[in-house]
Amino acid sequence: MGEFVPIDLEAVPEAYAASTDATIGIEEEFQVLDVASLDMVPRFEELRDAAKADPVLCDSIAGELIASEIEIRSGRGENFADALAHQRDARTRLFALCAARGVALGSTGTHPWADYREQPNIDTEHYRGVVEGLQYVARRNNTFSLHVHVGIRDIDRAVKVCDRLRSVLPHLLAISASSPYLDGLDSGLHSARTQAFTKSFPRCGIPDAYGSWEGYRDYLDLLIRTGSIQEYTQVWWSVRPHFAFGTVEVRICDAQSTVRESDGLAALIAACVLQAARDHDEGLPAPDHPHRLLEENLWRAVRYGLDGRMIDFDSRAEHPTAEAGDRLLAWTEPVRAEHGLDVDLPDRNGAQRQRALIAEGVAMGDVFAETVRETRATYAAGVTAS
């Protein structure tokens, strides 16, 4: 947890040759909160040490950049149901531990009012390096997200799957948007997390299309030779091959305040990765839209979430972003049926529910308290109702 990971590009093809399609890993990042004030509190190390009495939980949690954040990891699931079972068990255990120690957990893309200047970074070799290298950019990043890993055999194929997913990323972000507040202000956005993190970190957001492992390796080799990166995880693209696991990792989404949303979104992400792999295997043409156009849809997802409109670049026309889920479900129907991927999402996402309260004049603290209530009521019990 937080160890330095050396780069060995020679070993990557072998790692992916041993990978298995459709293995799944789920990672959820939570805010560590004072149970009364709902302020962020730096108690990760305390929770980590307390979790040592529970070997299952101890193996399932990890630290992130700041000490007021904790991550739950499913580990490798042989399929989605297996990963989800591990994740649900870990959630229940962690929420019980937190309740016993007077800690609450929040699950939105940003904390509404926490001052980043007051959040200490955890003391590991990896994160010391991140803070030293990025300075303000790293310290400013108090954001929370959902990451999903999907096993993909063959590194060349994995890179091409990432290429195919570039045009899908804005739609996944819009569906996941849950962060209207930042720095004590209504940002006017649906995903302030994306603006704070994706638009600030280097090598972040929607990547270029690399075309092959040779193309991606050449890019990484340049970064390594010029001292731009010391670890391959310093490439923070919103979709990337993750060499340690032999997976395609999708990293675009805000954290979700309810279990129903997190589970449904994770299933949808897995379906998108597996459908992209199937389309590649069947020789279907890959979308090849310029980065400058994809950025238009990414901005629309940041600003308006599901309340906005997306551009269909093939027809050169707009469509309601509220249709994003249905469009992705239609595209992924073949693999969802094959892999038993049940996608169940509410009619309104987290940002929409929060914005409805904001429009009613509900105070920021009360809006956030409602999201924390949703999180506790669903994650702690391991249920899916929102």
- CA 178, CA 112: separation in Å to the nearest integer? 11
pLDDT in tens, 283-331: 999 999 999 999 999 999 999 999 999 999 999 999 999 999 999 999 9
Q: What is the DSSP letter of 209?
A: P
What average pLDDT does this structure show over 237-247?
96
On the question of pLDDT at 65 being above 60, the answer is yes
On the question of pLDDT at 351 being above 70, the answer is yes
For tokens 């999907």, name the residue. Answer: 150
pLDDT for position 141: 84
On the question of pLDDT at 2 being above 60, the answer is no
On the question of pLDDT at 68 being above 60, the answer is yes
Residue 239 near residue 250, CB atoms below 8 Å: yes
pLDDT in tens, 80-108: 999 999 999 999 999 999 999 999 999 99
Q: In the chain, pLDDT over 90 holds for what percent of residues?
A: 86
What average pLDDT does this structure show over 40-45?
96
pLDDT for position 271: 98
pLDDT for position 3: 54
Domains defined along the chain, listed by start: 9-379 (3.30.590.20)
pLDDT in tens, 128-182: 778 788 888 878 889 999 999 999 999 999 999 999 999 999 999 999 999 999 9
Q: In the numeric block, which tokens belong to residue 307?
A: 């309340």
Strand pairing of 236-237 and 204-205?
parallel
Q: What is the DSSP string of 230-265?
A: SSGGG-EESEEEETTTTEEEEEEEEP-SSHHHHHHH
Average pLDDT along the chain: 94
Q: What is the DSSP letter of 19?
A: -
pLDDT in tens, 258-286: 999 999 999 999 999 999 999 999 999 99
